[in-house]
Amino acid sequence: MAYTCRQLVEAAFEEIGLASFSVDLQPDQLQSALRKLDMMMAEWNGKGIRLGYPIPATALGNDLEAFSNIPDSANNAVVTNLAVRLAPSYGKTVSMETKVAARMGYDVLSARASKIPEYSISGMMPRGAGNKPWKNDTFVTPADDPLLVGNDGELELY
């Protein structure tokens, strides 16, 4: 089950040493941290790291009780990166372990989001030394276009 935005924010505060059992977090602090979470997730979304987080349409942001829709495998990366962003606002220094976890988590999410482009071999690429000269096919034939349309017309995209 996905964490709520409140759980992510409180976990980030715990990461920087402002746990709810030692410090009473004020509602404005929680809302400020939620705005930073919204901005971070919007930034990641723009970089292609799409985790299913509901990006708010207005500057008011998300509700703290809303589900984040982030997969469980990405929770630690989100929490530690949010903690790194929150710490300077509260005069805290993030531990080296948190910084390393944040960087490694972001790198994993970034690697998952990246896609290696596929290239097709053109008709001008020679087949190579194993080619039999009597076959008269010394060049690689280009791949067929993977998008096929029926006989009744052109493909229209709306």
- 100-131 burial, b for 16+ CB within 10 Å, e for fewer? ebbeebbeebeeeeeeeeeeeeeeeeeeeeee
- For residue 57, name the pLDDT band (cuts at 50, 70, 90): confident
Give the total residue count for the chain.
158
pLDDT for 76 beyond 90: yes
Q: Flag whether pLDDT at 56 surpasses 90.
A: no
Per CATH, domain 5-113 is 1.20.140.10: no
**pLDDT at residue 84, rounded to an integer:** 95
**What pLDDT score does 66 carry?**
87
Q: What pLDDT band is residue 21 in, cutting at 50, 70 and 90? A: low
How much of the chain exceeds pLDDT 70, in percent? 70
Asked if the model's pLDDT at residue 147 lies above 70, the reply is no
Structure tokens at 66: 């809303």
- pLDDT number for residue 118: 67
Mention every residue, 6+ apart, whose C-beta is less than 8 A from residue 69. Answer: 2, 51, 52, 53, 54
Which pLDDT band holds residue 36 (cuts at 50, 70, 90)? very high
